[in-house]
Amino acid sequence: MAKDAAPERAGGAGDPYLSLYRRFRPTRLSEIRGQPHVVQALRGAVAEGRVAHAYLFSGPRGTGKTSAARVLAKALNCANPADGEPCGLCDSCVAIAQGTSLDVRELDAASNNGVDAMRDLVSHAALATPGEWKLYIVDEVHMLSTAAANALLKTLEEPPSHVVFVLATTDPQKVPETVRSRTQHYEFRLLGAETLGELVTWVRDQAGLDLDDEAVALAVRRGRGSARDALSALDQMASAGSAEGVRPELVGLLDAVCEEDAGAVLVAVASLIEAGWSPQQLAVELVDDLRQAFLLSLAPDLASAGGDERARLGAQAERLGLARVVRSMEAIGLAQVDMREAPDARVVLEVTLVRLAKSELDTAPESLAERVARLERALATREVPARQQPGPPAPPPGPVDDPRDRPTIGALRRQRAERPEVSPVIIEETPPPDPAPPARLRSGVAPDRDALVEAWGDHLLRALPARAKVVYSSGRFVAVEGSTALFAVPNSGYLGRCEEVRPLVEEALGNHFGATIALRLVVEEAPETRAPVRSARRAAEPDPSDLGDDDFDPEDPGEPVEAQSLAQSRILEAFPGAEEVTG
């Protein structure tokens, strides 16, 4: 609608009041907003004389389908057309604008969908009229019955030369294919927020309405792309004097959802319903507000909300978070479906809103994922300041626990024997101090026999390779001469085997004590005090001198003789004077 367009009826004194969308209906093709592809095609067809015999205009309500058909009728019968546009001043243009022209016949297919109505239309199509062209405008053509559509087909395909059919519908998929194939199909689109805002602002100024920009923005939102719906909302606000009453006040309800206050949600819903708003209306408006918040979060240019309402919805979107906004839209959308068949639609809406306010009441996977994300954000917020605060330096790591530094069984036994007898007292348990590492020996000096025995039983023997462990487990240290340690083996059979792996034992001794220690092997002559023990033990052990190479395997770490011999020797050394009894 152009700024210089003249309304059909100004609605002066004594004239009946006309709604804004009727008063400011387009009178020229160029005044039709938001449909440039249709306007250009129709103007070119009229200007060049290539008008088709049938057109199909489809699109949402309030986008200009019927208005375009009427303007086309004016342009075809205008006495003074200019560039495909009607003059709007000749008798034909005035008559069509007033609805009194015999050249234009409008038919509502929703109420005249029978075959008789189509037969009457077809029978009168060939009759002449005062104008050069005769137009039939059939609105909601998808409502025609099958018989009525079939009755129209022949005339629609080959009408009289002066007849033009314009079929309009909001649901082109329901129009029979046989009808669509006989027409030129033009699709009308919803008007963009900017285009619709310009139209509503222009109508407000032309009509002299005392409404602010916030009312204009609200009318645009109510229109949702439909010019007729937007002008109807503007008309309603003009009658009420303000924007109040056109849509429910949802500020308190959305704030309660943001604050997760279920009680305040129920109070807000009750207040709105008492004011006359139905649960279905509240659900529709809530989804619209949430959609605006959704657009403000992702694509602010697409949001149609303006002024203070735009700032409010943006702040609520930040408080809710994008995930919660999307989930709220989905939940209320499902509630709209459930309310159609629910005994009490209010209960469905209240339960849905309480679940949105209290996430712990919602067991949906999306809600659980949102709760986990909120906990993670809360933990991250708490941890960051703690990491930034300076604190005492961390204590240095303690010394590595080396098995060689632990006290041996023999050392603990001597400490226990040297400790004076004292009466027992109850003291608080404290962890024992870490044992000091053993002092390294000077080069060329061997440890004494006790140190060798303790280290041999606790550390060295178990760390030897398997073939050395087997043969050396039956011997013992008997003396130390300078830097040479004397190691006694039971008999000559062990002597040869021990000699083969002696370098491995010397290396282990040197690594442990930090000094070069030579090892001299001798055959032990068992004293009489040890004879029963040795003889009893050896009675169960094979003599290596009696075994052949095939029977004696020092590489086997699981040799039963070695395990039994090692255990027996350790027990006897730990308990001096003990004797082994075999039965």
Predicted local distance difference test score (pLDDT) of residue 188: 95
| Of the candidates 284, 299, 295, 304, the residue with the CA atom closest to the CA atom of residue 191 | 304
Range 67-92 average pLDDT: 92
pLDDT at 559: 42
Report long-range pairs for 577-582 (Cβ below 8 Å, ≥24 apart). Answer: 579/532, 579/533, 579/536, 580/532, 580/533, 580/536, 580/537, 581/536, 582/536, 582/539, 582/540
pLDDT of residue 282: 92
Percent of the residues in the chain that have a pLDDT greater than 70, as a whole number: 74
295-309, 381-395, 495-509, 516-530: the lowest-pLDDT one? 381-395
**Residue 3's pLDDT band (cuts 50, 70, 90):** very low
> How many CA atoms within 13 Å lie on the side-chain side of 3?
4
Q: Where in the chain is the domain with CATH 3.40.50.300?
A: 32-189
The residue behind tokens 């129709």 is: 42
Looking from the CA of 417 toward its CB, the CA atoms found within 13 Å total: 6
Dump pLDDT digits (tens) for 10-35.
445 556 778 898 899 999 999 999 99
For 45, the token pair is 């067809």
Distance CA 177, CA 185 (A): 12
Does 398 score more than 90 pLDDT? no
pLDDT score of 484: 87
Q: In what order do the strands lie in the sheet with 484-489?
A: 476-481, 484-489, 518-523
d(CA 354, CA 359): 9
The reported pLDDT for the residue numbered 137 is 93
pLDDT given for residue 8 in this prediction: 47
Closest Cα to residue 218, out of 191, 252, 249? 249
Between 128 and 146, name the one with better pLDDT: 146
What string of H, E and C letters represents the secondary structure of 518-569? Answer: EEEEEECCCCCCCHHHHHHHHHCCCCHHHCCCCCCCCCCCCCHHHHHHHHHH
Ramachandran angles phi, psi of 137, nearest 5°? -105, 110
Q: State the average pLDDT over residues 469-486.
A: 84
Residue 72 has φ and ψ, to the nearest 5°, of: -65, -40
Task: Enter the tokens of residue 285.
Answer: 């408006």
Confidence tier at 404 by pLDDT (50, 70, 90): low
- Give the per-residue pLDDT at 555: 44
Q: Report the pLDDT averaged over residues 93-98.
A: 91
What pLDDT was estimated at residue 94? 92
Phi, psi at residue 555, to the nearest 5°? -80, -15
CB 313 within 8 A of CB 359: no
For residue 34, give both structure tokens: 């938001």
pLDDT for the residue numbered 244: 66
Closest CA to 234 of 245, 224, 243: 243
Angle at 512 between CA 511 and CA 515, to 5 degrees: 65
Work out the end-to-end distance of the chain between its first and last CA atoms, rounded to an integer number of angstroms.
Answer: 122
Residue 386 has pLDDT above 80, yes or no: no
- Parts of the chain belonging to CATH 3.30.300.180: 449-574
Tens digits of per-residue pLDDT, 416-451? 666 555 444 444 444 544 444 444 444 445 688 888
Mean pLDDT of 105-112: 88
The residues, any chain, with a CB within 8 Å of residue 487's CB and separated by 6 or more, are 472, 475, 476, 477, 478, 498, 505, 519, 520, 521, 522
251-371 belongs to CATH 1.20.58.1910: no
Q: How far is CA 163 from CA 75, 124, 136, 166, 230, in A?
A: 14, 11, 8, 10, 34
Is the pLDDT at 226 greater than 80? The verdict is yes
> Distance between CA atoms of 517 and 482, rounded to whole angstroms?
9
The CA distances from residue 322 to 226, 257, 292, 316, 319, in Å, are 28, 14, 12, 10, 9
Region 510-532 average pLDDT: 71
Lowest mean pLDDT among 95-109, 290-304, 434-448: 434-448
Lowest mean pLDDT among 261-275, 378-392, 416-430: 416-430
Evaluate if residue 558 carries a pLDDT over 70. no
Q: How confident is the model at residue 53 (pLDDT cuts 50, 70, 90)?
A: very high
Average pLDDT, the chain: 78
d(CA 93, CA 75): 8
User: If DSSP codes are grouped into helix, strand and coil, which group holds residue 139?
Assistant: strand
Number of residues assigned to the chain: 583
Candidates 3.40.50.150, 1.20.1260.10, 3.40.630.40, 3.30.300.180; correct CATH number of 449-574?
Answer: 3.30.300.180
Alpha helices in 443-530 (DSSP H): 449-455, 461-463, 466-472, 492-500, 502-513
Residue 240 is encoded by which pair of tokens? 């009420």
pLDDT class of 405 with cuts at 50, 70, 90: low
DSSP string, 152-182: HHHHHHS--TTEEEEEEES-GGGS-HHHHTT
The answer to whether 372 and 363 are in contact (CB under 8 A) is: no
For residue 543, what are its two tokens?
Answer: 């003599």
Mean pLDDT for 112-138 is 87
Question: Are the C-beta atoms of 96 and 73 separated by less than 8 Å?
Answer: yes
Section 257-279 average pLDDT? 91
- Per-residue confidence (pLDDT) for residue 536, from 0 to 100: 37
For 4, 29, 30, 54, 88, the CA distances from 40, given in Å and listed in that order, are 20, 9, 9, 17, 19
- Cα 290 to Cα 296, 313, 327, 383, 460: the distances in Å are 10, 8, 10, 33, 77
pLDDT band, very low/low/confident/very high, at 210 (cuts 50, 70, 90): confident
pLDDT of residue 240: 76
Full 3-state SS string of 223-286: HCCCHHHHHHHHHHHHHHCCCECCECCCHHHHHHHHCCCHHHHHHHHHHHHHCCCCHHHHHHHH
Query: What is the torsional sign of CA 192, 194, 199, 203?
Result: positive
Mean pLDDT across 404-419: 61
Q: What is the pLDDT of residue 401?
A: 52
- What fold does the segment set 32-189 form as a domain? Rossmann fold (3.40.50)
**φ, ψ for residue 522 (rounded to 5)?**
-135, 160
In this prediction, residues 536-548 reach a mean pLDDT of: 44
Coil vs helix vs strand at 108: strand
Identify the pLDDT of residue 576.
60
Q: Where in the chain is the domain with CATH 1.20.272.10?
A: 251-371
Write phi, then psi, for 161 (nearest 5 degrees).
Answer: -65, -20
Whether 231 shows a pLDDT value over 80: the answer reads yes
Q: Tens digit of pLDDT for each residue in 184-193?
A: 999 999 998 8
